[in-house]
Amino acid sequence: MFTEDDARRRDAADPGHRDLFHIPPATGGDHPDVAYFAGNSLGLQPRATRAELLDDLDDWARLGVEGHLEAGRPWLPYHELLTDTAARLVGALPSEAVVMNSLTVNLHLLMVSFYRPAGDRTRIVIEDSAFPSDSYAVRSQAAFHGLDPDRTVVRLRPRPGEDTLRTDDIVDYLRTEGDRVALVLLGGVNYLTGELLDIPTITAAGRAAGAVVGWDLAHAAGNVPLRLHDWGVDFAAWCSYKYLNSGPGALAGAYVHERHHGDPTLARFEGWWSTEPATRFEMTPVSRPPASADAWQISNPPIFAMGPVRTSLQIFDEVGMPALRERSERLTGYLEQLLDEIVAGRPVSVVTPRDPARRGCQLSLRISDGSGAHALTARLRHEHGVIADAREPDIVRLAPVPLYSTYHDCWRAARALAATLPTEGGDDV
């Protein structure tokens, strides 16, 4: 069943949108292009990005300062070109989303408003396997408020012998300890295990406990369908260089639920772009922030960094997250079957939940032969043309991205793992 011809037939029937992207050439193996499974670390470049970025550069050359109003995509309101598509991507109202800064900067700006420790309610709840920058950010916020990070930051751990968090355990903690929790800040999709947390259930539990609930959507935006407004999420932030394919260090996104717009009790850092656009050039000393997520902006946006985000968001808008999610489940499920069949008997196990509803397009593999994750991914790349992502000491992440990954890529990855990992009996692969 799991032959190369079968993979090719699946690709013919379910082709995705690979033609919209540049696929890097392979430096090893028998195929001209890499089988790329690192889109959860850095997405591939859309073919449209170069030409559209050059258009913006040409406007600068042709118009100079007049490009603020006369460019093909005028620079002064440029960020507004991204608002509607960004909002649709995360299930927000247009007034609730804004593209700005980078992920951790946005988290800090949002925590200025939404982490308000008082009395016994001081704790920040994160997952124990949160991405390190999130750990650093919340610890520094606790310290900034004069609190002990080791006592303030609560790291939720899976049960002994398990790799992923259970929703019931998170909810139980919030039910029993919620009166001491000021902020819940979890990853929508865990970067290490690929687990998709139950965002609506956890959000409801956190808010019922009296806490503010925010989400880091770095591995969720563009990966899984989101309905932030309907779920009542207080705030969220995401990056654009992983599944959103906007380039290394790309501008990030932020979301603030409309119930917080215009709230005079919320502290917020401000700058020129925090004030109403219509009065910005009156140059008054006091800001008049709009009743929208735009109020959390500070500086005017970097135009040449916004273009690639706009280009990518248009792709998601045209293809649609429902269609991408359906293909994601087919593609990831196929890779899972290949691993079960072709890589059986090797020192590898999948730590990502088996239930498609509890994961995005990522399978995290624990390699138990002691060789190390980086050593294995180096061999996969140089010997087989398969690019995967390593997290030491023993996790290799494979992300079959539904926009550009193929069934044949999945077949190549499984075959490469079987050829690279040791097995008893020397099975022929």
pTM of the model: 0.96
26-68: pLDDT as tens digits: 988 889 999 999 999 999 999 999 999 999 999 999 999 999 9
222-276: pLDDT as tens digits: 999 999 999 999 999 999 999 999 999 999 999 999 999 999 999 999 999 999 9
Confidence band (pLDDT; 50, 70, 90) for 210?
very high
60-88: pLDDT as tens digits: 999 999 999 999 999 999 999 999 999 99
Q: Report pLDDT for 280.
A: 87
Q: Report pLDDT for 91.
A: 98
Tokens 């390593």 map to which residue? Answer: 390
Confidence band (pLDDT; 50, 70, 90) for 188?
very high
**DSSP three-state, residue 222:** coil
Does 201 score more than 80 pLDDT? yes
Q: How far is CA 60 from CA 33, 57, 73, 78, 249, in A?
A: 35, 5, 11, 14, 22
Arithmetic mean of pLDDT, 332-345: 97
Confidence band (pLDDT; 50, 70, 90) for 279?
confident
Strands (E), 138-251: 153-156, 181-187, 212-216, 235-238
Does 322 score more than 50 pLDDT? yes
Arithmetic mean of pLDDT, 373-392: 96
Percentage of the residues of the chain whose pLDDT score is greater than 90:
94
Asked if residue 113 lies in contact with residue 268, where contact means CB atoms within 8 angstroms, the answer is yes
Does 189 score more than 80 pLDDT? yes
Confidence band (pLDDT; 50, 70, 90) for 423?
confident
138-167: pLDDT as tens digits: 999 999 999 999 999 999 999 999 999 999
**Side chain identity at 24, as an amino acid letter?**
P
Asked if residue 227 lies in contact with residue 91, where contact means CB atoms within 8 angstroms, the answer is yes
79-126: pLDDT as tens digits: 999 999 999 999 999 999 999 999 999 999 999 999 999 999 999 999
Confidence band (pLDDT; 50, 70, 90) for 426?
low
Please report the domains of the chain, with CATH numbers, ordered by start residue. Answer: 4-46+320-420 (3.90.1150.10), 77-318 (3.40.640.10)
Whether the bond between 77 and the residue before it is cis, its omega within 30 degrees of 0, is no
Q: Report pLDDT for 428.
A: 47
